[in-house]
A and B are shown apart, each in its own frame.
Chain A
């Protein structure tokens, strides 16, 4: 992308940029300034509700993309087409089951869908949600314990001065956290607390301040420049 190309915007892009800037200006103004007697915050809230509604509608596009990708896998008999088929069947069956018989049912009073249908679908929904989805979710979360161990193993190598300090600090915190540390030497707990309260907090705050300033510069840049796709 040459510098000359970057300097050009179409008329549509300029209009878009003006809208973006105006809305950004409005929200910043409402956040910082209150004018007694003028319900600006209320207008901003309503605008945000409108925005949320539009954003939520995009969910359908996500589902369409998911369906298209995996339907193509099945259609073209790609190597993983069986998994794609399982995904499509699971996704749509779960959606139907949730609408018919779940705590999120569209007809909880059975005024349209017969009670007998509810009675059939509800145990299936319960099985799919609690016995499969929740269990798989918990399994993936539990895997983190092993991943943390393997990542820590790689990180804890005294290759340089910095990694040696990291290794020493990590060991002291781990020892201080272990129940047995108190019986070995009561001071381990204090050392752990000091490391967490001072060097650790100072480092985290340094990153946070830098991030806040980065966001500030980035946000202003986004507010005044054409955003994406260039």
Chain B
């Protein structure tokens, strides 16, 4: 039984547009929907001073209610790290302190004479307290010794080392951290301190883990636990969990919740991404549901290096809450050889881990811990002090757009927005074109396809159709199948035998259906034979050889090869050319387009491949679709022109908004 097609499937019906929009409406709803992972933006680069000419990395940031302060490691050409400071009013635009570095390597003979980095700073009791890593280099990198020291400062610039440094050193031989300890992340409890740190054991292939230590004074530490992180649901951290490595970044505490940033990799040598985890006791952690939250770049930019973001011994990451959102600062490497590390930030909505206003800025001093087990006790003093800090710190600043794009508009949200605008333009113009029966531009040479098929019928020779080596998921292949509907239909009408040569077994099934249906519709089932549609091979050149053989043996009058083609296209085209067969080609692969143009009598290029079917069917609705993409092109041209002008004027708003 046949019924009328549902009106909703008509592209002229506004209901369709509403349905399409429905996909993306949730994307605009804050905070119900949020797309991760996102890419952050670069905020601090190396140089120009010599002491930091090679890299800047391992950032640590605090927020005092009005402005941000960052301590970071800078590396010179000899690979020596020192610590510098920078300030910012918005967390995005940073000004380096003019007399950097603020913390230099130790004097000759000291435990931190070769490098100092990994700063972790808190402001407490009217002074800045810093835990940092000091390095003593061995004969090889594997022999380098990393230990953690302590220093204080009244202004964050002039530092005084603790006389009995280092305060946390490697474990006894055979323990999990007997090789090195680094990347401290300290939380003040009011009555004491908790430190999260990375550690690694001696031995090739040993993986870095994360440990916890507690102290009553910040200088005498007791190691209490080794952390373990459960696997994420999406497999983004499969390799890290497989080898039980925990690349801890920074830990903050707000209210009863601990929040950690950490990096993981999916497979061996794959780029790292940053995820978040939460805990109620600081020991047992739960990964965030939609990890990773920050990913690496792929376009050759500042975060497109093979190491990814926030990973390894160098990059580092940390998280703090301020101005009703989370800021994750991290190091990332570019794809240069050797890569350069720079510092970036990504902002995430507070709804990821909802915390109250009064606790949202506690990363400034961190807040009192109420549930660190075993060695920490909570005193009344600690609670009182935390309350006092909260009231003296202005926190009720609005969620502002500012110079930096808010995280909501970075990544796929902006893509979704652009898609909605483009689709809206396409369908609006399509409707107008359809109603007014606008005359559209033609596709040169397309009308010759029908004539060639007719001639094939007169010559009693077959037509060869090859949809290329793409799979059923390849857009070009799908466009080729749409064109096959037309070609098979015309062949059936003119009594022409069509031969289809497939490289993919799934495409094969679809082409069988299309060709059979076309002959059936024209009541020419007699023309369909078992070998009308053939599966050749998934191997590229075996497929080329098979098609070249068909061209030589079957002597088709027309060779239609449209779809996803690589190098095999030229072999097929040249074989057809040698036998003086009319050739109709088409692909959107820009590397192959020149060969199609050189060897085919007619060729479809780029979007012509996708609009050809509409043109050939001569249907007003379908023809009007040729106009729609042109509206999209006009939009693209406008965006490119405006973007180019803005970038030239030094404004990156549009490029930030539309970044992939």
Contact = CB atoms under 8 A, between A and B. Distances in A.
Given A32-B27, A33-B35, A72-B530, A207 B234 contact: no
B629 A213 contact: yes
Interface in A23-46: 25, 28-29, 31-39, 41-42, 45
A207 B1 contact: no
B544 interface: yes
- List the 6 closest A-B pairs by CB distance, nearest first: A214-B607, A62-B505, A214-B610, A229-B517, A155-B598, A140-B541
A80 B607 CA distance: 40
Given A35-B32, A213-B629, 19 more contacts: A42-B234, A45-B234, A63-B505, A65-B533, A69-B530, A151-B599, A155-B594, A155-B597, A214-B607, A214-B629, A215-B610, A216-B629, A217-B610, A220-B20, A224-B8, A224-B9, A224-B11, A229-B517, A230-B485
Interface string B572-607: 011000000000000010100111011100000111
Contacts, number: 227
Interface in B530-550: 530-531, 533-536, 539, 541-542, 544-545
B508 A209 contact: no
Interface string A192-230: 000000000000101111110111111111101110111
Contacts of B544: 140
Give the one of A6, A154, A209 with max B CB within 10 A.
A209
Interface stretch (A9-17, A113-121, A122-130, A178-186): A9-17
Contacts of B518: 229
B218 interface: no
Contacts of B26: 29, 33, 35
A86 interface: no
Contacts of A6: 5, 619
Given A34-B36, A65-B535, A207-B588, A229 B636 contact: no
A207 B598 contact: no
Contact of A72 (B234, B531, B606): B531
Contacts of B16: 224
Nearest to B2: A8
Interface centre among A25, A41, A80 (most CB of B within 10 A): A41
A216 B9 contact: no
Nearest to B26: A33
Interface in A54-84: 55, 58-59, 61-63, 65-66, 68-69, 72, 79-80
A144 B571 contact: yes
Contacts of B5: 6-9, 14, 226
Contacts of A111: none
A220 B23 contact: no
B3 A14 contact: yes
Contacts of B222: none
B178 interface: no
Interface string A80-115: 100000000000000000000000000000000000
Contacts of A217: 426, 610-611, 625, 628-629, 632
Interface residues of B, number: 97
B33 interface: yes
Contacts of A50: none
Nearest to B289: A37
B3 A9 contact: yes
Nearest to B614: A221
B441 interface: no
A152 interface: yes
Contacts of B611: 214, 217-218
Contacts of A66: 534-536
A152 B265 CA distance: 46
Nearest to B611: A214
A143 interface: yes
A201 to B, nearest CB: 10
A211 B606 contact: yes
Interface string B493-516: 000000000100110111001101
Given A66-B535, A80-B553, A220 B423 contact: yes
B508 A33 contact: no
Contacts of A161: none
Contacts of A11: 1, 3
20 contacts: A8-B3, A32-B24, A32-B35, A36-B289, A36-B352, A45-B234, A69-B534, A136-B545, A137-B541, A150-B574, A207-B605, A211-B609, A213-B629, A214-B610, A215-B610, A217-B610, A217-B629, A222-B482, A224-B8, A225-B11
Contacts of B608: 214
Contacts of B289: 36-39
Contacts of B298: none
B514 A229 contact: yes
Interface in A139-156: 140-141, 143-144, 147-148, 150-152, 154-155
Contacts of B595: 148, 151
Contact of A213 (B34, B422, B479): B422
B313 interface: no
Contacts of B290: 34, 36, 39, 41
A77 B606 CA distance: 44
Contacts of A208: 590, 606
B567 A211 contact: no
A207 B609 CA distance: 11
B377 interface: no
Contacts of B9: 17, 224-226
Contacts of A31: 412
A53 interface: no
B574 A61 contact: no
Contacts of A144: 567, 570-571
B416 interface: yes
A72 B529 CA distance: 11
A25 B535 CA distance: 32
Contacts of B597: 155
A14 B573 CA distance: 40
B33 A219 contact: no
A62 B508 contact: yes
A4 B277 CA distance: 58
A212 to B, nearest CB: 8
A3 interface: yes
A3 to B, nearest CB: 7
Given A10-B1, A10-B2, A211-B606, A147 B593 contact: no
Interface string B340-356: 00000000000110000
B590 A221 contact: no
B83 to A, nearest CB: 36
Given A211-B588, A220-B423, A137 B510 contact: no
B632 to A, nearest CB: 4
